[in-house]
Each structure stands twice: as C-alpha cells, then as structure tokens.
Structure 1
C-alpha cells in the first residue's frame, strides 16, 4: 500500500492565492504563499519574543542594546554610533534606549579614553545580571518556538532564509 503524500491544510495565504487565481488567472500569485506567510510568522514571532522581554521590564529595543553590549565580552563599552550600527537603528533611537537603560541603572555612560568629548556606553553589574537572565529566557523561548520543526526542517529553513536574506542584503 502506498502512502498518501502529506497534505497541508489551506491557510489564509492559500485562500488569498486561490481568490487571486479566480479573479486574475493571468497572474501568478504564488509568491504570496512564501512572502505572506513570512510576514505573518514574523509578526507572530515578534509578539512571542516581546512577551519574554517584558517579563524582565524590557522592550525590544532595550533588550537589543543590552544583548549587543553583553556579547562584546568582558567590560567592553561601545560608542552610541557603534550601538546604532550594530542594532540597525538611528542614533536618536539609540539615545532614547540608552537614556532609559541608564535611568534604570543597567548601563552607564563613560568618557572615552581617546576622545574626551566622546562617551562610551557600558553595562553596569545589574545590567549584566539582567541581560544574562533575560537572554537565557529568550533562548529557551526561541527553542520552544522552533520545537515544531524537526532538526532537518530547521536546517533546511536556516539555509533557505540565508539565501533569501543574502539576496536582500540583510
């Protein structure tokens, strides 16, 4: 007896493509099956990730700044420009995030050893403890979110997304 191939139930993306196929059969709307799904998955993932950050009193931006500083290692400090480049946000957004984290006691601004006019941003001990705990929870959440994929599916998805992201220069 031959096994039937696994059929994926229709989702909203498939319904939309089917509607377009009826209304505009001259157009190939199938890219929406990937792009639409990616968009919906990205939005849902953001919601799931932000929920964990909030458990630590952090927004997405604050988490990003703390994680960026922490992964530099040791007692590393970065300029606001470096933070802007590494977190891919404007300098104004970095300033707002650093101001909030400084007010909470999680980062401090230091004078640069090479340029007295420049400031560096560094984690405080409480900031380091907070991001270590928050990052562990973040990774557990990411493992949970990906647990629906087999190791092979996950590896395939990693490779596929890498190809797509490289084509978009992201």
Structure 2
C-alpha cells in the first residue's frame, strides 16, 4: 500500500513518514490505536460541552451516570463507585463533595454498617443524569449519521474484540 500516493488520513500520513525514516519497523498498531486516540481527542470537546450545559464535568457525569445505571434506589457504596469508575478513592471523594454541594448526590448511613456511608442520587441528580445522558447520546449519534447501522454494529463488534484481546494480553504480561 502506498500511503503517500493515496493521501490517506492523518494516521496514514504519520505511518508513511515513519516508513520513510524507519522502514524496518511495523507501524500497523498505529493504524488502529492511533485512530482510536485521535477519535477520542476529536469528540472529547463536544462531550465536555454537552455535560457543561448541565453544570457537570465529565468526571461528575460519570459518578451520577453510574448511580443512575445501578437502578432504584440509585445507591452504591463508595467502593463500588470508585471500582466501577476506575479511579482512586481520593478522586471519588473530591467528585462526591462537588456533587453533594450541587444537591445531586447525598451520603446516607449504611443500614448494614452504621460506620459506613452509601452514596445515593437525589431526585435532582436522577433528573440531571438522565437529561445529560440523553443529550450526550443525541450528540454522539449525530456523529455517526452518515454511517450505516450495519457498519456501526460491525465496528462496535471489532472494537469489543480488540478490547478483549488487549485486556487479555495485558493480564498475561502482569502474570
């Protein structure tokens, strides 16, 4: 494949430059991971803008969305939250303070253990999570408007397979 002749996209141009400079190096991972990273960077500002319209940053949205997805009564322990969000307990504490101050979450004494607390969505938090998620999905769906549903499904399937493969390979490295 002659990337320079076809023009290609940004990643193709980067690979062509590396092929010229280091012709013995296989840069094929860039064709996948480079595009995933680039897509992430391209859509991030729009996603953040959507959440900002609801007075949320992405991290705050992640917390209230996780609680909303949990289903009634929309409560989780802090440990369940930070494991689900893949953040530190300190990072969660900071987010919870802001969300509590905004009236979106409340800390409730655990009925099982009086020494611990459970985090729950308030009525306002439930509404805000739903509205922000609906707006986000509408905005993101618009990005795929010109891509046929079957192609989107194929892409999702391939990305799932890639995620499972990478997760497995990383786990093998750790063992």
Query: Taking structure 2 as the reference length, what is the TM-score of the superposition?
Result: 0.88
Give secondary structure in 1 for the equivalent of 2:158: helix
Aligned to 2:172: none
How many residue pairs are counted as aligned between the two chains? 164
Shift of 1:10: 1.6
1:117 to 108, 115, 128: 115
Deviations 1:13-69 (A, max 9, x none): 111111122122222223212221111111122222111001100001110111111
Question: Unaligned regions of 5+ residues in structure 1, if any?
Answer: 1-6
Aligned to 1:154: 152
Give secondary structure in 1 for the equivalent of 2:167: coil
Do structure 1's residue 98 and structure 2's residue 96 form an aligned pair? yes
Aligned to 1:75: 73
1:130 to 128, 131, 136: 128
Distance 2:112 2:159 in 1: 41
C-alpha RMSD over aligned residues: 1.7
Aligned to 1:89: 87
Distance 1:20 1:150 in 2: 33
Between Structure 1 and Structure 2, which shows a larger proportion of helix residues? 2
1:56 to 48, 54, 57: 54
Contact kept in structure 1, 2:7 and 2:13, CA below 8 Å = no
Question: Unaligned regions of 5+ residues in structure 2, if any?
Answer: 169-175
Distance 2:34 2:74 in 1: 40
Give secondary structure in 2 for the equivalent of 1:105: coil
Q: 1:8 to 1:80 in 2, by over 3 A?
A: farther
1:42 to 40, 43, 53: 40
Distance 2:93 2:10 in 1: 40
Shift of 1:9: 4.6
